[in-house]
Amino acid sequence: MSQVLTPDEVSAKFGKLFCRGVYTMVDERAGVARIVEECSAKGPVEWDFVNRRRAGGALTDIRIDGTTLIMDAVIGEREVRFGPASKDLGGQGLKAVAVDGDVVKTTWVGLAGASVGIGACLPQGPGTLEAVYPDDVKVGGANRIEVTISTPKMVRAIFAVDDTDTKEKGASWVLMLKTAREAPVGHMLEHRIVQLNPNVKEKTTQCVSVGVSFAVKEKDFGALRRHFINSLDKGTFSQNTVLAIMKGLRIPEVVQEYGRRAKMEVLTVDDAHLAASRGGVELVEISGPRGAIGALAGIGCHDLGVKAAGLPEDF
């Protein structure tokens, strides 16, 4: 037997806890998923990171960004391994990820005190639709729990722009952050300033492009795309603004390589269009063609973390 609880019912049963949001993105063609869990404190995030990494299961990578856990996983099921110390340490792990229409179902296993994180905290986070528990569910203490959490199926969308300013006015990073914060749909994940080759003659000042990524429902992607195009069209000061757009969890290698080259070489608009075509990235000309060079690099470097903000010699 099992019982199905909504986030409010989970809160009423176990008490209000600390999850601030859960967003599950899938890339079904690649067979992978990404779960973003936002918490209100860093202690639980660090503890969950260590426990979930130790358990393995369906997770392939896990990392911390402030008080947020970012978890990459396969779509499918894998055995969770807590190890010989589990009776003393407890543990928690991701057992399975399944896509069911417009819903993603993630199955988690927890032991002892670690069961509270996946049995009581995660299921009440904003973004959760419902959680399925055993009929006699107990969390904490010496208990073992298995819970399946349903969240809306989302995709990752990356928007990157270059050439919105002039030497006299404007700043691309400001325009993109403002545009992202005003988005009518989706949840903003990252805002990234990408340092490009400073030896480009046509640069305004620092030669950067800017990218932002979103978790968004597939049905809302068109509205998000229109929002970015309209906002950039109204806010740009340049006659060479281009917006690059990509959906997916894995940036194609040809686009990543283009991004790395853009930090060291002087590339052309033709280079950008060739790499975009091969990598399946859309280039939208807002006011002129030249911005395509940096806009595509903003996609290619988006997953570099802090390295996106520097040049190769900085690291």
pTM of the model: 0.93
For tokens 């033709």, name the residue: 270
Report yes or no: 130 and 4 within 8 Å, Cβ to Cβ. Answer: yes
> With respect to CATH, is domain 163-314 assigned 3.30.70.2200?
yes
Q: How many CB atoms lie within 10 A of CB 81?
A: 12
Distance CA 243, CA 56 (A): 38
Token output for 79: 């055995």
What is the distance, to the nearest Å, from the Cα of residue 28 to the centroid of all Cα atoms in its chain? Answer: 15
83-115 per-position pLDDT tens digit? 655 555 668 899 999 999 999 999 999 886 667
pLDDT lower than 70: segments of the chain? 83-90, 112-114, 138-142, 166, 203-205
299 sits in which H/E element:
helix 292-300
DSSP per-residue letters across 52-86: HHHHBTTEEEEEEETTEEEEEEESEE--B---TTH
What pLDDT was estimated at residue 142? 63
Domain ranges of the chain: 2-152, 163-314
